[in-house]
A and B are shown apart, each in its own frame.
Chain A
Amino acid sequence: MSVLSRTDTSTVGRWWWTVDRWTIAALAILIGIGGVLTLAASPAVATRIGLTSLHFVLRQVVFLAPAVMIMFAVSLLSPRGIRRLACIVFLGALVLMAMTLIFGMEVKGARRWLSIAGLSLQPSEFVKPTFAVVAAWMFAEAKKTQGFPGRLLSIGLYGLVMGILLKQPDIGMAVVVTAVWFAQFFLAGLPIVLVAGLGVAALGGIAGAYVMFPHVAARIDKFRDPVGHENYQIDRAMEAFASGGLFGRGPGEGAVKSVLPDAHTDFIFAVAGEEYGLLLCLAIVSIFAFIVLRGFARLLEDNDLFVVLAGGGLLTQFGLQAVINIGVNLHLLPTKGMTLPFISYGGSSLLALALGMGMLLGLTRSRPQNGGRT
């Protein structure tokens, strides 16, 4: 760890001594586990759908290098730089997301993807972290500058993002964006009465989705009454955990990956459970808990409201995504397509997560007096 001297004042040197190296280590371990599990789960899926066995592995590796670079580069930025970057990316992704409604590829009944230069891109993945930062800025600015209509702007942007997401439709993403935005609003000092009110509204929103979107209704029905419906993926996942036990059946010995269509994405946690057992699964849960809780702890020491809100939003998003994915795998939540951060296969998701965690690392870097900016 002493490659860089304490007195090194270069950009990288300063970064090294101010960034949260524990979180970086945890993220590195996650990426490592993700690589191993993608290698375990995806060849079975790839051969089943007629691709070469290493198809997904290679694509994931191709995305990994830029992802690490993005994370590093973004974490070099100052909070102000991060804010600017977030605004630009947010606006760009918003435009692309709007374009999906017109030019998007239809996959399983939803238009979420754009095909750019042979690679498919899901713009809403990039909206997710950048909107958290933009919304944090709005809330913070509202407190800081009297008369700045931050809350209204934030509500307006939220409405815009929601409108496009529901039009695609992408209910899962909408739920996450809503939860993150609501968490930020809460951190920004939303009166408790309104917290309760919005909580009710959120429940209403879920009820509305149940009524309006048949696929949402079907999934929730399946979850509530697994006997009455065919709950194939969940049954297989449960059997996978059970057959894995404490130590797992051993690398490559799992069977669930060859029967689950989403073994390399939404259900990679079940593959981990079957092949590597409870111990690895607990390790994965612990790493996510560590990153989220440590991030929150660092935010407690920060004096900048924007940093607290943006960091809180990014951590909530990261943690929520992990919790939802693991919860679905463990049959605690209805089936919802949600990737496990840094572990599931998925290019857009990986790049967007790298962007989000890069921004978090940049925001949580220790700064003298936690100040120095307006």
Chain B
Amino acid sequence: MAWFRRKPQSKPCTPADMPGASPLVRMDGAAKSAIETGRNRIVVAGMLFAIVFVVLAGRLMEVTLLRGNDIAARGVVIAPPPEQVVLDRQSIVDRNGVLLATNLRTASLFAEPKKILNPDEAAARLVQELPDLSEAEVRAKLSTGKSFVWLKRNLTPRQHYAVNRLGIPGIGFQSEQRRVYPQGSLAAHVLGFTDVDGKGISGIEQFFDESLRDPARGAESLELTIDTRVQHAMRDELLRAVSDFNAIGAGGMVLDVETGEVIAMVSLPDFDPTNPGDAPKETRFNRVTLGVYEMGSTMKTLNTAMALDSGTVKLSNGYDASRPIQISRFTIRDDHPKNRWLSVPEIFMYSSNIGSAKMALDVGPAGQRAFMDKMGMLRRPVIELPEVGAPLVPRNWKNIETMTIAFGHGLSVTPLQLAVATSAVVNGGVLHPPTLVKRPADLPVPGVQVLSQQTSDIMRRLLHLVVEDGTGKKATVDGYLVGGKTGTSEKVGDRGGYNRKALFNTFIAAFPMNKPRYIVIGSIDEPKGTKATYGYATAGWNAAPAVGRIIARIAPMLGIQPVDEELPEIKQAMFVPIPGKPVPVEKKLAAY
């Protein structure tokens, strides 16, 4: 600081030192002392400034170096404000947190044709990078002289980079958000999809549209009850069944009988919700919740439970099934007539239409109607999807309707309704409303007792009997004590009346039957007979083995311990006394 140290004395400017100075610069005493004071005080001011600058320099080192380390250690880095941190729409995950739907930021390509210098060259170079665009179309768009045209929405990052690298002036990118479904078509009908503006227009996306778009929810995701692994196993096996039996479609679901949670729900054919427009419109039809079908013999589970629960019949009682029933212009006959008196277990096992109809008649139309209503079969089921079908309930519910409904005709319901009602039959008699949204663990599971524990116990044994020795044998899975019921129904043809060739086959199963945890229902729409099934197309030949394979795959995933079915206590738990016949009964039972 040499420039500062110079003392006033080093260059004294007294009049004596300037003898030759003009009189004009002569200073009088007052002025001289004033300049001296001024100089001294300038030194003071300079020192003050010097101190302040040193303080600034010190503070500068502190904030850049010392605090820098602090902040670096804490991992705090300032970031420019991201344009949109919060996604426009919540993500959806499965019960284990696997991502099912989320928003991705994408770039969309636009052009400002006014600024395009050479439309021909620009179009040629763009199409080279984006071969799915038509060069002629792009050229036409670029030559319009408009101020804005879209060229392509939602580019991949690779395309974005490639187009950017072309460096064509007048080409720009608009940042957008796009709904993507990383699991592809896996849970398409559950999730649904959104339109280009990100509005949910089907499935969960539509049902929860408002809350999914609620910015207050921030980064949390909507948790579903679906288990992606189970969903995949079910979809895989149903796809195989559709292809093996040349069917037009299939549907199925896995339901937790204790909570009403839907673990899997598949409807085939399906679509990729990321690009729903790529698949035909009919792929969007949900066969599990929207389609209503006459469920056929699978309804006998409810019919038998109804008769046992109302006390009109006991397990040891039975009905004469030796002759078909004539009622008005219909004849009710058994497909595999025994032509004799059948006990209740035999009626269920052999899937006797005559016995079932007589059982229902004893309860009566009013009692049956009340029971079906109690089991949720007469009202539109409630689940978190907009695509839910209402059952077709007969207007006149007389004896004839009572008899047909007993074996699954005359009342059309969704497979969802049958699964929920059957879960109440096997779980001790409690009807839990089905749900697709994971319930917090601390919330109680809603449920209504609709059957006695005793009825449920008997029904578990009867269902197991069907798989052990009846129509459902092909659904057997070693160690998992599967129980179930087949159902083959003819679909109503275009001109009314049943079409013998167009079947809707269902197998509804529960496992393990000593303490059921899950319901698995699988339906195959219009399966055809094959060489492997000796031309048979009934549920025992297609739906039952498909459901068996599903159970074999999902039981280990769901943590079900296999048991030795030959153990005396298991045999005891599954024992069904059949009057007049030693167990087991006839080995060979044809379909239904």
Which segment of A90-98, A115-123, A236-244 sits at the interface?
A236-244
Q: Decide: B59 and A293 in contact? CB cutoff 8 A.
A: no
Q: Which parts of B114-164 form the interface with A (CB within 8 Å)?
A: none
Q: Decide: B64 and A255 in contact? CB cutoff 8 A.
A: no
Q: Which parts of A310-347 form the interface with B (CB within 8 Å)?
A: 312, 316, 319, 323, 326-327, 330-332
Q: A241-B63, A255-B79 are in contact. Are A293 and B4 (CB under 8 A)?
A: yes
Residue numbers in B under 8 Å from A258 (CB-CB): 80-81
Q: How far is the CA of A327 from the CA of B58 in the complex (A)?
A: 11
Q: Decide: A238 and B67 in contact? CB cutoff 8 A.
A: yes
- A–B complex contacts, Cβ < 8 Å, 6 sampled: A189-B38, A238-B67, A300-B43, A312-B45, A323-B56, A326-B60
Partner of B64, one of A245, A300, A308, A372: A245
- A89 CB to closest chain B CB (Å) equals 24
Residue numbers in B under 8 Å from A189 (CB-CB): 34, 37-38, 41
Q: Is A371 an interface residue (CB 8 A)?
A: yes
Q: Decide: B56 and A241 in contact? CB cutoff 8 A.
A: no
Q: How far is the CA of A282 from the CA of B54 in the complex (A)?
A: 10
Closest chain A residue to B33, Cβ basis: A189
Q: Is A288 an interface residue (CB 8 A)?
A: yes
Q: Decide: A259 and B67 in contact? CB cutoff 8 A.
A: no
- A222 CB to closest chain B CB (Å) equals 18
Closest chain B residue to A327, Cβ basis: B56
Partner of B45, one of A187, A332, A371: A187
With A241-B68, A259-B81, A281-B64 known, 5 other A-B pairs at CB within 8 A are: A186-B41, A259-B80, A305-B34, A308-B39, A372-B22
Residue numbers in A under 8 Å from B55 (CB-CB): 332
Q: Is B443 an interface residue (CB 8 A)?
A: no
Q: A186-B45, A245-B68, A288-B53 are in contact. Are A371 and B6 (CB under 8 A)?
A: no
Produce 1/0 per residue, A167-210, CB < 8 A to B: 00000000000000001001111000000000000000000000
Which segment of B70-78, B215-223, B306-314 sits at the interface?
B70-78
Q: A296-B46, A305-B31 are in contact. Are A246 and B38 (CB under 8 A)?
A: no
Partner of A259, one of B52, B56, B78: B78
Q: Decide: A282 and B42 in contact? CB cutoff 8 A.
A: no
Q: Decide: B13 and A370 in contact? CB cutoff 8 A.
A: yes
Give the top 9 A-B pairs by smallest Cβ distance, nearest first: A371-B25, A289-B53, A296-B46, A297-B3, A242-B68, A241-B63, A278-B64, A143-B34, A242-B71
Residue numbers in B under 8 Å from A297 (CB-CB): 3-4, 6, 46
Residue numbers in A under 8 Å from B45 (CB-CB): 183, 186-187, 296, 312, 316
Q: Is B557 an interface residue (CB 8 A)?
A: no
Produce 1/0 per residue, A301-312, CB < 8 A to B: 101110011001
Q: Decide: A303 and B13 in contact? CB cutoff 8 A.
A: yes
Q: Is A157 an interface residue (CB 8 A)?
A: no
Q: Decide: B4 and A296 in contact? CB cutoff 8 A.
A: yes
Give the number of residues in B that approach A within 8 Å (Cβ atoms): 50
Closest chain B residue to A143, Cβ basis: B34
Q: Is B531 an interface residue (CB 8 A)?
A: no
Q: Is B8 an interface residue (CB 8 A)?
A: yes
Q: Decide: B42 and A278 in contact? CB cutoff 8 A.
A: no
Q: Is B498 an interface residue (CB 8 A)?
A: no
Q: Decide: B21 and A369 in contact? CB cutoff 8 A.
A: yes
Q: How far is the CA of A332 from the CA of B58 in the complex (A)?
A: 11
Q: Is B50 an interface residue (CB 8 A)?
A: yes
Q: Is A224 an interface residue (CB 8 A)?
A: no
Q: Is B30 an interface residue (CB 8 A)?
A: yes
Residue numbers in A under 8 Å from B34 (CB-CB): 143, 188-189, 305
Q: Is A165 an interface residue (CB 8 A)?
A: no
Give the number of residues in A that approach B within 8 Å (Cβ atoms): 60
Residue numbers in A under 8 Å from B7 (CB-CB): 300
B residues near A (Cβ < 8 Å) are 1, 3-4, 6-8, 11, 13, 18, 21-22, 24-25, 27, 30-31, 34-35, 37-39, 41-43, 45-46, 49-50, 52-53, 55-57, 59-61, 63-65, 67-68, 70-72, 76-81
Q: Decide: B78 and A144 in contact? CB cutoff 8 A.
A: no
Q: Which parts of A265-303 form the interface with B (CB within 8 Å)?
A: 273, 277-278, 281-282, 285-286, 288-289, 292-294, 296-301, 303
- B477 CB to closest chain A CB (Å) equals 60
Closest chain A residue to B25, Cβ basis: A371
Q: How far is the CA of A293 from the CA of B2 in the complex (A)?
A: 10
Residue numbers in A under 8 Å from B64 (CB-CB): 241-242, 244-246, 273, 277-278, 281
Q: A297-B3, A309-B38 are in contact. Are A323 and B30 (CB under 8 A)?
A: no
- A149 CB to closest chain B CB (Å) equals 16
Q: How far is the CA of A161 from the CA of B41 in the complex (A)?
A: 25
Q: Is A256 an interface residue (CB 8 A)?
A: yes
- A61 CB to closest chain B CB (Å) equals 25
Produce 1/0 per residue, A343-374, CB < 8 A to B: 00000000000000000000000000111111
- A156 CB to closest chain B CB (Å) equals 21
Q: How far is the CA of A236 from the CA of B72 in the complex (A)?
A: 15
Q: A183-B45, A241-B67, A297-B3 are in contact. Are A143 and B60 (CB under 8 A)?
A: no
Residue numbers in A under 8 Å from B13 (CB-CB): 303, 370
Interface centre among A187, A242, A289, by most chain B C-beta atoms within 10 angstroms, is A242
Q: Decide: A330 and B56 in contact? CB cutoff 8 A.
A: yes
Closest chain A residue to B20, Cβ basis: A369
Q: How far is the CA of A146 from the CA of B34 in the complex (A)?
A: 13
Q: Decide: A245 and B65 in contact? CB cutoff 8 A.
A: yes
Q: Decide: A187 and B38 in contact? CB cutoff 8 A.
A: yes
Q: How far is the CA of A246 from the CA of B68 in the complex (A)?
A: 9
Q: Decide: A242 and B41 in contact? CB cutoff 8 A.
A: no
Q: How far is the CA of A239 from the CA of B75 in the complex (A)?
A: 12
Q: Decide: A369 and B18 in contact? CB cutoff 8 A.
A: yes
- B56 CB to closest chain A CB (Å) equals 5
- A328 CB to closest chain B CB (Å) equals 11
